Amino acid sequence: MEHPHRDLSTLPKAHLHLHFTGSMRPSTLLELADKHGVHLPEVLRGGTPPNLRATDERGWFRFQRLYDIARSCLREPEDIQRLVREAAQEDVRDGSGWLEIQVDPTSYAPLLGGLIPALEIILDAVDAAARDTGLGMRVVIAANRMKHPLEARTLARLAVRYADRGVIGFGLSNDERRGMARDFDRAFAIAREGGLLAAPHGGELTGPSSVRDCLDDLRAARVGHGVRAAEDPRLLRRLAERQVTCEVCPASNVALGVYDKHEDVPLRTLFEAGVPMALGADDPLLFGSRLAAQYGIARRHHEFTDAELAELARQSVRGSAAPEDVRKKLLSGIDDWLAAPVAV
């Protein structure tokens, strides 16, 4: 009989859904705020995740405001370097062998000398963190769907320009209730034609239709979140047939009020339909849990066995942009994790 308690932090895995500022350690936020004289609301100083249920307009505004305040504490190259280094360290501690961190460089440009300098600072920090920690690490550049689609096209061209410096994908983030996916189709065409993976957000705050839009209008290879696809059996079959990976973030879904409790997140529905998943932490700064904890949610609240958790880890690796040698190493490590005797 399988032992249910292998250490999830030693299960090799890939992390495909982690936002840049949201990856920050709470202690680092406090130190950077003090360093730059940024006033943090008490909810960000308290050390416990804030109540961020964002299923209405006010809720999302509150979430975005806290994120923007945290981002305003990243003002110097040294701050960026620290954030990326610590994010890599946390991922390594959680068993990640590959991290694709998502960033909209326009958000950091005003304090870092412009768009191109900001992106180069970020990419240099990723290179340094990868060397220092041994973690494979790349960047997904994400456009903001709250801004004009022309800005997304500019970002897509920039992303393609830096594909040889560590940019592997192009995303679309923020409130999916605003802006139609098709408005950004040209930006995604630019990114795809430049060899980048298309990974827009969909199926989080709105239903299955937003996932279909990602597939139909943006030709997504992956979908950020995607959990609401569980409400449409035909869409589930389509995702499974095309092997489109959904970057599912269970703790985030509950924190933002997409689902009331962990048991409601449709991990089982997606898994049993054959839809590949890559569990992600989304914004640990605001949601309070990192990568290994997402696998813990699958074990604790959805009764995933160790064999099933290993398969989730394999799906994360297969859905990544990791080179073949990294994939082989991680997949072999997953097999070893499952085959090894469990320490008593």
What's the token pair of residue 224? 């950020």
Q: Where are the alpha helices (DSSP H) in the chain?
A: 26-36, 42-45, 57-71, 77-93, 115-133, 149-161, 185-193, 208-218, 233-242, 250-255, 267-272, 284-287, 291-302, 306-318, 324-339
Question: Where do we find the tokens 């680092």?
Answer: 28
What is the Cα–Cα distance from 342 to 107, expressed in whole angstroms?
A: 45
- Catalytic residue ranges: 204
Secondary structure (3-state) at 205: coil
What is the Cα–Cα distance from 151 to 227, expressed in whole angstroms?
A: 28
Quickly count: other Cβ atoms within 10 Å of residue 56's Cβ.
12
What's the token pair of residue 265? 């997140």
R_g of the chain computed on alpha carbons: 19
221 φ/ψ angles, rounded to the nearest 5 degrees: -85, -25
168 and 195 Cβ atoms separated by less than 8 Å: no
Q: Where are the alpha helices (DSSP H) in 134-227?
A: 149-161, 185-193, 208-218
What is the Cα–Cα distance from 244 to 77, expressed in whole angstroms?
A: 36
Return left, alpha or beta for 184; rule: phi > 0 is left, psi -120 to 50 is alpha, else beta.
alpha
Q: Which residues contact residue 303 at a Cβ distance below 8 angstroms, ignoring those fewer than 6 apart?
A: none
